[in-house]
Amino acid sequence: MAESKHIPSGELKDLHVPLKGETEGGACLSGHSSKYADASSCTYRWQALQPVARERHSVYSRMPKVSAADQRTFAKEGISKGFLPTSRYLSQAGEPVPFEYAFQVALPRHPDDWRVGGPTRTDSTDAVGNRIPPGKNFTQDKWPYWNNAHHIIPKALLNRLIDKIEEPECRDLVRVGLLRAKYNINHWINVVILPMDMQVARHLALPRHLALEDETAVFEPHPKFDHAAYSEKVKKRLATIIATYKAAVQQAINEERCNAWSVVKLSKRQLEQLSKACYLSIVNLGATRPGASIGEIAFPD
């Protein structure tokens, strides 16, 4: 299913609610722009950086702790003093990925250099020397280091599980019910900024978003493009929630018959609780195994 699809019935298209410059009140089940400048309830990078999400900002705004032993190891690898090696790699065609990045990134000189809402100094630059305007950290995927705005409940996984509901009407009504409940897959509760560089993640006590070409303790079929191991672990919990939605919708169909389309509404509470629980597990993974890819996450029983 294309990620731009919300519900198939044209007459119900208004249930998708994007709100310009607002974090609350939107309704969305799909992927939209990640560009910070496209500020709306559907813009997940913008959502993640809003003041309302400040409880999470300190996690990826820390000053990295680099030991003298690490510095000596990096020096042997040709990394300049005051820098960390990145996870930039060469494609099969020999092109560096990401292209406009570098194989090392400067450590912060000031506590605000890597903070959300930073930098505060006017001469801060990214890994290739591009100026980072004051206050613009994380508004792009290489400011101040290579990062990704991660959907805690992956948007493709949510839609894939809904698509597995066999009855077309029931499947459509699950989407209708969630949109009526103003569930937003792009809300900041379901988004967290994660480093892509293993050494950046390790020294910030965070997990990294993708395994890339670095070592990982789990098998990833496409480590440079997705996090299958992470999604599979979330799937086990998400499938239970979707099953409850299916049952609620089926009951509405049985009781309301033709009126079900106008009355069905589901609760978004279970999905948002799952996002919060997964977030805590992500933070715990970083604390216990800094630099691990999120596919190595372990959820409590």
Say if 239 falls within a structural domain. yes
Q: Decide if 153 contacts 178 (C-beta within 8 A).
A: no
Q: Decide if 86 contacts 101 (C-beta within 8 A).
A: yes
Q: How many domains, the chain?
A: 1
Say if 109 falls within a structural domain. no
Say if 78 falls within a structural domain. no
Say if 275 falls within a structural domain. yes
* CA 229 vs CA 23, 222, 232, 296: distances in Å: 30, 10, 5, 7
Boundaries of domain holding 257: 10-60+146-296
- Which are the contacts of 34, defined by CB distance < 8 A and separation ≥ 6? 43, 44, 45, 149
**CA–centroid distance for 163 within its chain:** 22
Tens-level pLDDT at each residue, the chain (301 residues): 334 455 555 555 679 999 999 999 999 999 888 899 999 999 999 999 999 999 999 999 999 989 999 999 999 999 999 999 999 999 989 999 999 999 999 999 999 999 999 999 999 999 999 999 999 999 999 999 999 999 999 999 999 999 999 999 999 999 999 999 999 999 999 999 999 999 999 999 999 998 888 888 788 778 778 888 999 999 999 999 999 999 999 998 888 766 778 888 899 999 999 999 999 999 999 999 999 999 999 987 6
Say if 106 falls within a structural domain. no
Say if 127 falls within a structural domain. no
Say if 102 falls within a structural domain. no
Instruction: Kindly state the DSSP code that residue 148 receives in the 8-state scheme.
Output: E
φ/ψ region of 268 (left if φ > 0, alpha if ψ in -120 to 50, else beta) reads alpha
Give the 3-state secondary structure of residue 23: coil
Give the 3-state secondary structure of residue 54: helix
Say if 26 falls within a structural domain. yes
